[in-house]
């Protein structure tokens, strides 16, 4: 070929190399995705198939692995193991191994993650929407707003572990809280709240009378009465099972009621208690007799209801973890909300203002209603992504526990909602971290790791996909 | 008839205006909006977008503001109902605007009350994505009107006044966005009328409409003068001749000429006006 348009040799190869490199990089993305997903699916799917739905509905349990006398290998969760022992009282158990959290399922981390995300959504949305409305509808351009915007941008770039440590320092150990028990030692500053400020329905602490000599379980307030050499002794325990007060009979000037009264009352309660099985008794709420005795004892033992405002934080708890996550997603939420507000045509605002609407009426009647759907979806889906974060929660509220967060909260027939949020919980990413890094590794743990990772991946991917689809739909709809 | 403070840029001219003759006196009494030596800036006084504007807008007449883009006609319009308040750096740097005798550039003026008296119709029709009925009732509802029959009455009256009732009376519950462009713009006019203002400002009300819809809206504007004082900003000089009684020509932030429409378009006093209306620039 002898054309002036003939391809030069050298150029072709340069072109080829460039194409290959660029294409290779693109394929690498797919390859790594396939490798990660493939490995997780190949290893996790059989576990899910074998365990079935119980993998999602059972709490994590201890798993035992052992050989029986026929050299058959058994993998049994703690409960199954007990049953096995009952059925085979004479069975031989060889080279028994056990691993924490490796039996049962992943119910409690799933539920914990759900609650963390819910708390985070409520907090981040309320703050984020308010801030976005202010920034987009009220604020006038100026140096202060520039600083605010800079802060939002920078907040989005803060590494998650920094949020975790911040949450630990601020929400767990510094945030002002109202507490019923005396301020903790770490409290930076505490004031006792004067009685007149207490809510009228402020509930009684709910002490229960007990005659056992053993200290009460944590989570119940008790007055334990026992016979000492010099008469009765009263020990008052707080919810954490610590003695807050110990009073000897002779220390109290008790003309009314007389000690005979109290001893009679105690005898009544004791006989009632004896007539019931302990389980039944503790499930029932305080009896009338107990109520009466406690109200007699209250002035004697000075069981005053007190509240403090204390800068001591919530300790690692769901609320602290939720707040930390909320701080972390706040920039995402504010940005998403502002975007939705911007999508509302300026004409709506102009029209409302020109008709004599105040700024607030304009926002409430002709901006927010049209921005809200977009705000909600965009920010909820932005928030859902933090379901996968480990660092912010590992110090602030995630616990390695198989327990569900509400266990033991029904005290004396009443759900203690406030205390619920002050408890830690297990969460999916933290559970996986524990399974793979914090407990001794063995073949017993592996199936649980694989299954948990697969479920987690599926959830996160489903959320991400929904977020993309919904956002596209909303963008289409947002044309006026 | 309404005339006319010509553009006076020097204090000498202003003092000349003080020696007003009896005809000017009469005008001042009729004027709904009196603009005196007004200068306005969008950037806190660094540059003035409007410079030393003087004009009186007569009651129950249609006044047109014409001029090339960026000449400040819409800015002046937005000064009347303080819509420029939404811009943080916007500021009246000199002079005053009196509406029905009271100064509205004063910071103590409540723009909310002012805007109920001075309605505005925008360039792009901007009905809310609500029903036709709710659009017209919007101003009443935010004004705190709760009485349903009263709202019903005013909605019907306003739609009739905006020459839209016959077209929409059977679809009051339908979305306003289902109306045609011209109907939407008339709906916006009805929405403005429902608040019962005395002045209606229109910022290029027909620029987004086709010729047929434009004719309908223009006819509406000419009938509106019976009850309202109307100020129309327009790019379209034919439109100004069709709808307005007097016309103000703005150029580069200054009021070049303000006169009866018939006079300004047939016998302009200023060379710039002549050049503009004959299409030599702008």
A321 φ, ψ (degrees, to nearest 5):
-65, -40
d(Cα A32, Cα A44) in Å, to the nearest integer? Answer: 18
Q: Is A368 on the interface with B (CB under 8 A)?
A: no
pLDDT at position A418: 76
Q: 3-class SS at A159?
A: coil
| Contact between A356 and B128 using a beta-carbon 8 Å cutoff | no
d(Cα A1, Cα A8) in Å, to the nearest integer? Answer: 12
pLDDT digits (tens, 9 = 90+) for B212-259: 999 999 999 999 999 999 999 998 889 999 999 999 999 999 999 999
Q: Are residues A217 and A299 in the same domain?
A: yes
Q: Is A141 on the interface with B (CB under 8 A)?
A: yes
What is the rounded average pLDDT of the residues A386-394?
88
Q: Are residues A31 and A87 in the same domain?
A: no
- The chain A residue lying nearest B118, using CA atoms, is A354
Q: What is the DSSP letter of B83?
A: G
DSSP structure string for A117-154: HHHHHHHHHHHHHHHHHIIIIIPPSSHHHHHHHHHHHH
Q: What is the DSSP letter of A221?
A: -
- The chain A residue lying nearest B90, using CA atoms, is A140
Q: Is A142 on the interface with B (CB under 8 A)?
A: yes
What is the rounded average pLDDT of the residues A371-382?
84
B interface with A, Cβ–Cβ < 8 A, is 81, 83, 86, 88-89, 112-113, 115-116, 119-120, 122, 124, 126-129, 138-139, 141-143, 177, 188, 191-192, 195
Q: Is A356 on the interface with B (CB under 8 A)?
A: yes
Answer yes or no: pTM beyond 0.90: no
Q: Are residues A99 and A112 in the same domain?
A: no
Percentage of chain A surpassing pLDDT 70?
76
pLDDT at position B25: 42
* In-domain check, residue A275: yes
Two tokens, residue A194: 């004067």
* In-domain check, residue A391: yes
What is the rounded average pLDDT of the residues A443-459?
91
- The chain B residue lying nearest A346, using CA atoms, is B126
Q: Are residues A214 and A283 in the same domain?
A: yes
Answer yes or no: are the C-beta atoms of A209 and A293 closer than 8 Å: yes
Residue A379 has pLDDT above 80, yes or no: yes
In chain A, the number of structural domains is 4
As for the ipTM of the complex, it is: 0.86
pLDDT at position A254: 52
Q: Are residues A367 and A437 in the same domain?
A: yes
Q: Are residues A281 and A269 in the same domain?
A: yes
Last residue of one domain, picked from the residues A104, A119, A145: A104
What is the rounded average pLDDT of the residues B68-83?
91
| Contact between A354 and B192 using a beta-carbon 8 Å cutoff | yes
* In-domain check, residue A4: yes
Residues 250-269 of A with CB under 8 A from B: none
* In-domain check, residue A378: yes
Chain B CB contacts of A142 below 8 Å = 88
pLDDT digits (tens, 9 = 90+) for B25-70: 444 447 899 999 999 999 888 899 999 999 999 999 999 999 998 8
Chain Cα centroid distance, residue B21: 28
d(Cα A105, Cα A387) in Å, to the nearest integer? Answer: 19
How much is the CA Rg of chain A, to the nearest whole Å? 31
pLDDT at position B20: 42
| Contact between B188 and A345 using a beta-carbon 8 Å cutoff | no
Answer yes or no: are the C-beta atoms of A311 and A176 closer than 8 Å: yes
Last residue of one domain, picked from the residues A311, A331, A362: A311
How much is the CA Rg of chain B, to the nearest whole Å? 19
Q: Are residues A304 and A213 in the same domain?
A: yes
* In-domain check, residue A182: no
Q: What is the DSSP letter of A24?
A: H
Q: Are residues A41 and A69 in the same domain?
A: no
Q: Is A275 on the interface with B (CB under 8 A)?
A: no
d(Cα B69, Cα B276) in Å, to the nearest integer? Answer: 12
Sign for the CA dihedral angle at A458, A460, A463, A468 comes to negative
Residue A327 has pLDDT above 90, yes or no: yes
* In-domain check, residue A180: no
Residue A65 has pLDDT above 50, yes or no: yes
d(Cα B234, Cα B204) in Å, to the nearest integer? Answer: 5
Residue A271 has pLDDT above 80, yes or no: no
* Range(s) of the domain holding residue A344: 107-175+316-477
Two tokens, residue A6: 């003939």
Of B119, B126, B191, the CB nearest to A348: B126
- The chain B residue lying nearest A347, using CA atoms, is B126
- The chain A residue lying nearest B192, using CA atoms, is A355
Q: Are residues A213 and A339 in the same domain?
A: no
B158 φ, ψ (degrees, to nearest 5):
-65, -40
Answer yes or no: are the C-beta atoms of A218 and A232 closer than 8 Å: no
Distances (CA, A) of A166 to A10, A172, A224, A319, B254: 58, 9, 40, 14, 58
| Contact between B116 and A356 using a beta-carbon 8 Å cutoff | yes
Q: Are residues A327 and A430 in the same domain?
A: yes
Last residue of one domain, picked from the residues A51, A69, A87: A51
- The chain B residue lying nearest A345, using CA atoms, is B126
Chain A CB contacts of B191 below 8 Å = 351, 355
| Contact between B126 and A347 using a beta-carbon 8 Å cutoff | yes
Of A141, A349, A354, the CB nearest to B88: A141
pLDDT digits (tens, 9 = 90+) for B116-153: 999 999 998 899 999 999 999 999 999 888 899 999 99
Mean predicted lDDT score pLDDT of chain A = 81
| Contact between B142 and A370 using a beta-carbon 8 Å cutoff | no
What is the rounded average pLDDT of the residues A344-348?
91
* In-domain check, residue A12: yes
| Contact between A351 and B112 using a beta-carbon 8 Å cutoff | no
Two tokens, residue B177: 């966005």
Q: Is A361 on the interface with B (CB under 8 A)?
A: yes
- The chain B residue lying nearest A366, using CA atoms, is B128
Report the candidate in A321, A308, A368, A363 with the shortest Cα–Cα distance to residue A184. Answer: A308
Of A345, A356, A357, the CB nearest to B126: A345
* In-domain check, residue A181: no
A252 φ, ψ (degrees, to nearest 5):
-105, 130
The Cβ of residue A15 has, within 10 Å, a number of other Cβ atoms equal to 11
**Three-point CA angle B49, B52, B54, nearest 5°:** 120
Q: What is the dihedral of CA A262, A263, A267, A269, to 10 degrees?
A: 20
pLDDT at position A406: 83
| Contact between A348 and B122 using a beta-carbon 8 Å cutoff | no
Q: Are residues A203 and A232 in the same domain?
A: yes
What CATH number has the domain bearing residue A388?
1.10.3720.10
Mutate to test the interface with B, among A345, A356, A363 (most CBs of B within 10 A): A356
Name the most confidently modeled range: A153-157, A212-216, A218-222, B28-32: A153-157
Burial B93-129 (b: 16+ CB within 10 A, else e): bbbebbbeeeebbeeeeebbebbbbbbbbbbbbbbbb
Q: Is A366 on the interface with B (CB under 8 A)?
A: yes
Q: What is the DSSP letter of A104?
A: E
Chain B CB contacts of A355 below 8 Å = 115-116, 119, 138-139, 142, 191-192, 195
| Contact between B86 and A355 using a beta-carbon 8 Å cutoff | no
| Contact between B139 and A355 using a beta-carbon 8 Å cutoff | yes
pLDDT at position A286: 54
For residue A222, the number of C-alpha atoms closer than 13 Å in the C-beta half-sphere is 20
What is the rounded average pLDDT of the residues A409-426?
77
Chain A CB contacts of B124 below 8 Å = 347
pLDDT digits (tens, 9 = 90+) for B255-276: 999 999 999 999 999 999 999 9
pLDDT digits (tens, 9 = 90+) for B160-216: 999 999 999 999 999 999 999 999 999 999 999 999 999 999 999 998 889 999 999
Q: Are residues A66 and A90 in the same domain?
A: yes
pLDDT at position B4: 47
For residue A374, give how far its alpha carbon lies from the nearest alpha carbon of chain B (Å).
Answer: 16
């Amino acid at each position: 070929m002898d054309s002036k348009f003939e391809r030069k040799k050298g150029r072709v190869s340069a072109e080829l190399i460039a194409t290959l490199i660029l294409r290779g990089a693109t394929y690498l993305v797919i390859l790594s995705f396939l490798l990660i997903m493939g490995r997780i699916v190949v290893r996790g799917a059989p576990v899910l198939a074998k365990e079935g739905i119980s993998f999602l509905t059972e709490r994590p349990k201890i798993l035992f692995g052992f050989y029986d006398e026929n050299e058959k290998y058994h993998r049994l969760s703690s409960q199954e193991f007990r049953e096995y022992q009952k059925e085979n009282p004479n069975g031989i158990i060889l080279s028994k191994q056990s691993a924490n959290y490796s039996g049962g399922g992943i119910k409690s981390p799933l539920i914990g993650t759900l609650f963390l995300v819910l708390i985070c959504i409520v907090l981040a949305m309320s703050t984020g929407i308010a801030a976005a409305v202010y920034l987009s509808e009220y604020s006038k351009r100026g140096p202060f707003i520039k600083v605010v915007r800079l802060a939002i941008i920078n907040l989005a770039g803060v590494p998650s572990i920094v949020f975790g440590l911040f949450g630990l320092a601020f929400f767990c150990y510094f945030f002002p809280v109202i507490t019923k028990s005396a301020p903790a030692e770490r409290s930076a500053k505490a004031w006792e709240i004067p009685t007149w400020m207490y809510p009228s329905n402020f509930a009684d602490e709910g002490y229960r009378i007990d005659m056992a000599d053993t200290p009460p379980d944590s989570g119940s307030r008790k007055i334990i009465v026992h016979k000492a050499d010099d008469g009765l002794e009263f020990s008052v325990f707080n919810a954490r099972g610590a003695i807050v007060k110990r009073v000897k009979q002779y220390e109290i000037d008790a003309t009314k009621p007389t000690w005979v009264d109290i001893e009679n009352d105690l005898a009544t309660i004791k006989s009632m208690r004896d007539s019931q099985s302990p389980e039944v008794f503790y499930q029932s709420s305080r009896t009338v007799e107990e109520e009466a005795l406690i109200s007699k004892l209250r002035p004697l033992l000075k069981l005053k209801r007190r509240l403090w405002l204390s800068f001591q934080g919530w300790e690692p708890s769901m609320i602290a973890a939720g707040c930390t996550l909320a701080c972390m997603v706040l920039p995402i939420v504010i940005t998403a909300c502002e975007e939705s507000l911007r999508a509302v045509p300026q004409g709506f605002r102009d029209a409302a203002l020109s008709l004599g609407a105040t700024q607030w009426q304009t926002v409430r009647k002709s901006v927010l209603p049209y921005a809200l759907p977009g705000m909600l979806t965009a920010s909820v889906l932005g928030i859902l992504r933090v379901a996968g974060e480990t660092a912010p929660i590992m110090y602030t509220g995630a616990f390695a526990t198989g327990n569900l967060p509400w266990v033991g909260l029904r005290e004396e027939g009443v759900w203690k909602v406030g205390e619920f949020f002050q408890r830690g919980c297990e969460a999916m990413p933290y559970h996986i971290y524990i399974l793979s890094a914090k407990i001794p590794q063995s073949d017993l743990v592996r199936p649980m790791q694989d299954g948990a990772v697969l479920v987690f991946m599926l959830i996160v991917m489903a959320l991400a996909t929904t977020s993309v689809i919904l956002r596209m739909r909303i963008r289409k709809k947002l044309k006026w | 008839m309404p005339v006319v403070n010509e553009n006076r840029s020097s204090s000498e001219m202003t003092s000349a205006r003080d020696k007003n003759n009896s005809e000017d006196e009469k005008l001042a009494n009729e004027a709904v909006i009196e603009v005196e030596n007004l200068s306005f800036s969008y950037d806190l006084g660094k540059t003035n977008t409007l410079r030393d504007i003087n004009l009186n807008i007569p009651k129950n007449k249609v006044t047109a503001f014409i001029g090339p883009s960026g000449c400040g006609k819409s800015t002046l319009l937005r000064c009347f109902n303080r819509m420029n308040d939404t811009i943080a750096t916007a500021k009246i740097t000199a002079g005053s605007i009196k509406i029905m005798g009271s100064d509205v550039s004063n910071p103590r003026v409540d723009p909310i009350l002012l805007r109920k008296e001075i309605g505005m119709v925008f360039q792009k029709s901007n009905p809310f994505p609500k029903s036709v009925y709710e659009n017209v009732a919007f101003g009443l509802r935010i004004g705190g009107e709760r009485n349903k029959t009263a709202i019903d009455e005013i909605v019907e009256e306003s739609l009739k006044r905006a020459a839209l009732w016959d077209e929409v009376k059977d679809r009051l519950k339908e979305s306003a966005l289902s109306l045609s462009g011209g109907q939407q713009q008339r709906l916006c006019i009805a929405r403005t009328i429902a608040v019962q203002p005395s002045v209606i400002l229109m910022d290029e009300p027909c620029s987004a409409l086709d010729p047929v819809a434009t004719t309908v809206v223009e006819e509406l504007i000419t009938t509106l003068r019976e009850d309202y004082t109307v100020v129309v900003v327009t790019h379209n000089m034919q439109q100004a001749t069709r709808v307005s009684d007097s016309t103000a020509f703005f150029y580069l932030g200054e009021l070049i000429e303000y006169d009866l429409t018939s006079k300004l378009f047939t016998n302009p006093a200023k060379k710039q006006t002549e050049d503009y209306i004959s299409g030599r620039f702008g």
